Amino acid sequence: MNQYDDCWLRYERVADDDRLASYRRRCRHAYVAEKSPECGAIRDELRRALPGLLAEKPHLWQHPPTTVDGFLAVGTPDDMAMIAESVPGDDVADLEDGGFLVRSVTWNGADCLVVTASTDRGLVYGTFHLLRLLSVGEPIDDLDVREEPAYANRLLNQWDTPFHRSVERGYAGESIFDWERLPDLRSRYEDYARLLASVGINGIVLNNVNTTKPPRASANAAFDAFEGWQLLESRRLEDLTGLASLFRRYGIRPYLSVNFASPMLVGDLDTADPLEDDVQEWWREKADEIYDLVPDFGGFLVKADSEGQAGPYDYDRDHVDGANAIAQAVVPHGGRVWWRAFVYGSHEDRAVQAHDTFEPLDGEFADNVTVQIKNGPVDFQPREPASTLFGAMPKTDLGLELQITQEYTGQGVHATSHLPMWKEVLEFDTRADGEGTPVSSLFRGDGEGVVGVGNVGEDYNWTGHYLSQSNLYAFGRAAWDPDRSAEAITREWVRQTFDDDEDIVDTVTEILHDSWEACIDYETGGLGLMHMMHNGEEYLENHYYPSPAEWPGYHGASEDGIGVDRTESGSGYVTQYREPVAERYGSVETCPEKFLLFFHHLPWDHELEDGTTVVQRLYDNCFAGVEEVERLRERWRSLEGRVDERRYRHVAERFDEQVAQAERWRDVLTAYFREHSGIPDERGRARDG
């Protein structure tokens, strides 16, 4: 990467001389099996990485060298005798697709490293893993690494509108995909594929789930008329081929978001009724056409009956009818339909909707349908309890959808790590199979997995805020291994992205880890409240500024109290959890404070366990959130002169803006609480609105 930031693939010279000597001994010569597109990508990556890390040009051999003291070999045991001789075949044969081994071995008296796997995609991940170890300065003389991905599918959802080039909820500029010039490729696509593959992502949905109505005027008025569903038009599909072959080199399968009404919009049918034969036939022909062009196409993602998108309800059919009609078309090609559970319906409390709609349909979806569920029951709010659908559909393939982009957590301005939020959800014990069935233990089937809504755009640094690169990185790493600690993931990101210096690693890790709770405090007051944000017309204001008065139904503030009653006598949402979770959340006494007002509507002066009233805790949290951001800003400032000027300034300036914004949130929220409660802040800080 030259024109754009390298993110975590910087490959800088190894600082420690002894380490460098050992790396050079085993890696200055390398041999990569010569066969597949993936192996070509590996060779290219070694050519990029090793000169930087080793500060000398490596020698890439056409065959395993026999005359050198040490070398790196990448391939499957079938590819080369050296690997077959140094690694027992069974160790490799056992590996899941994507899994790999990285081992230090001695072969013909030479000190070697072997990266091996049962599939070429595994070789890609193994190589990136080795480069990560070298980048963070791990010893390699005694390596014995065996890794397999926890989930078979680790997908990215781009919310990009092709041609129009907007990115819904994107805060890093235009879409990187220049659809107008496809199938011509930009070097940026390859860099993106490298970033994704380096953290194990193996699928990408190229366009927004909203396939109608781009949200705002684009820079190029000619494309304002373009809508995402048009990608299924024959003349557009050919554009996919270049991207598909590029991503293939990195083991990444492309997918498309499709509009449920495509048979009418793209085709010339007068219905999209999923039970009509000609509708199903239309989908089959369309799928055949796509697979002719892109044989490893992953399948379709569908947002149906949600926020204005067409769906089976338009024909009095249900989600099973809808999903299965499209899924049957991709069965012959090994494709899959990812069907989102983010639907609206008759319930006043949106939290109830997804479980109410989908749980009764368990067991009816086709084998190649995955129901994709947002982490929480409402909509990516700063903090939500885990969705009740997790573990509730044992006979259906499920996917967990996380938001990498920071729609509700400060967008491109605030330093907010989402990793602690994801960990909280992954660790939630659903009790689906008795005690000890965390969310992370689900999604283990071949058709299941974890999905992240992407956060990159045209900005030089990819993600708008430099520190937001950590969210993309962390998503991939957590989707590969949900049991890896948040701290370990963040520390390795900082080491690769900034420096190995312990103080820098500690400081940036601390900033990221404390950032989420701080954001919850100033943006909601904590206690499980949500929807305190402005829903303005201006795109960049949307969901960025505070405006709690717009959403009384979502946070329940009134003169008598605050919070939403989701107990059995309220909306009933809590009863969708298994016991003992339902009972714990359902009782004011046992509900964790962080979710208290999500589940309960309580008087403003209700006393919490430590005797503080609800309203006072809300005031205190809002003020604490701002103080915390000020503290985190100071932590960042302590790095002045130790982090390169460009990134130092960028983050420092954003911190100034974040503090100002946090104060604004605090002031608007506390004034709102005061106005509705009529109770002043006992510490005299909260002002009138």
Q: How far is the CB of 343 from ligand GCV (least distance, A)?
A: 10
Strands 397-403 and 144-147, sheet pairing: unpaired
Asked if 397 and 448 touch (Cβ cutoff 8 Å), the reply is yes
- On the CB side of 213, how many CA atoms lie within 13 Å of its CA? 6
Helix/strand/coil for 561: strand
Q: Is 531 in the site for ligand GCV (CB under 6 A)?
A: no
Instruction: Give me the helix-helix angle, 486-497 and 502-524, nearest 10°.
Output: 120
Residue 658: what residue type? Q
Q: Which 198-227 residues touch ligand GCV, going by CB under 6 A?
A: 209-210
Alpha carbons 561 and 554: distance in angstroms, whole number: 13
Neighbours of 683 (CB within 10 A): 10
How far from the centroid of its chain's Cα atoms is residue 657's Cα?
25
Helix/strand/coil for 7: coil
Angle, alpha carbons 640-642-647 (nearest 5°) = 70
Alpha carbons 327 and 339: distance in angstroms, whole number: 10
- Binding pattern to ligand GCV, positions 331-350, x when CB under 6 A? -----------x--------
Q: Which 159-188 residues touch ligand GCV, going by CB under 6 A?
A: 159, 168-169
- Binding pattern to ligand GCV, positions 286-325, x when CB under 6 A? -----------------x---x------------------
Q: How far is the CB of 339 from ligand GCV (least distance, A)?
A: 13
Asked if 209 and 340 touch (Cβ cutoff 8 Å), the reply is yes
User: Would you say how long the chain is, in residues?
Assistant: 689
Alpha carbons 283 and 364: distance in angstroms, whole number: 20
Q: How far is the CB of 154 from ligand GCV (least distance, A)?
A: 19
Alpha carbons 662 and 529: distance in angstroms, whole number: 16
Of all residues in the shown chain, the one whose CB is closest to ligand GCV is 210
Alpha carbons 634 and 652: distance in angstroms, whole number: 9
Please state the φ and ψ torsions of residue 178, each to the nearest 5 degrees: -95, 80
Alpha carbons 6 and 16: distance in angstroms, whole number: 22
Asked if 574 and 685 touch (Cβ cutoff 8 Å), the reply is no
Pick between residue 209 and residue 472 the one whose CB is nearest to ligand GCV.
209
Q: Which 373-402 residues touch ligand GCV, going by CB under 6 A?
A: 379
Asked if 252 and 294 touch (Cβ cutoff 8 Å), the reply is no
Quick one: which of 359, 350, 375, 504 has its CA closest to 428? Answer: 375
* End-to-end Cα distance, the chain: 49
Active site residues: 307, 379, 407
Asked if 123 and 117 touch (Cβ cutoff 8 Å), the reply is yes
How far from the centroid of its chain's Cα atoms is residue 543's Cα?
19
Neighbours of 89 (CB within 10 A): 12
Asked if 155 and 206 touch (Cβ cutoff 8 Å), the reply is no
Instruction: Copy the structure tokens of residue 689.
Output: 């609105």
Q: How far is the CB of 407 from ligand GCV (least distance, A)?
A: 6
Asked if 246 and 183 touch (Cβ cutoff 8 Å), the reply is no
Q: Which 407-446 residues touch ligand GCV, going by CB under 6 A?
A: 407
Neighbours of 41 (CB within 10 A): 24
Asked if 95 and 118 touch (Cβ cutoff 8 Å), the reply is yes
Alpha carbons 42 and 34: distance in angstroms, whole number: 10
Number of residues located near ligand GCV, criterion CB under 6 A: 10
Residues with Cβ within 8 Å of 341's Cβ and at least 6 positions away in sequence, in order, are: 354, 357, 358, 371, 372, 373, 374, 389
- Residues pairing with 145 in the sheet: 102
Asked if 664 and 625 touch (Cβ cutoff 8 Å), the reply is no
Alpha carbons 558 and 672: distance in angstroms, whole number: 10
Pick between residue 328 and residue 375 the one whose CB is nearest to ligand GCV.
375
- 462 Ramachandran zone, left/alpha/beta (phi>0; psi -120 to 50): left
- On the CB side of 326, how many CA atoms lie within 13 Å of its CA? 27
Pick between residue 210 and residue 670 the one whose CB is nearest to ligand GCV.
210
- Strands of 135-252, DSSP E: 144-147, 153-157, 160-161, 166-167, 203-205
* Binding residues for ligand GCV (CB under 6 A): 159, 168-169, 209-210, 303, 307, 342, 379, 407
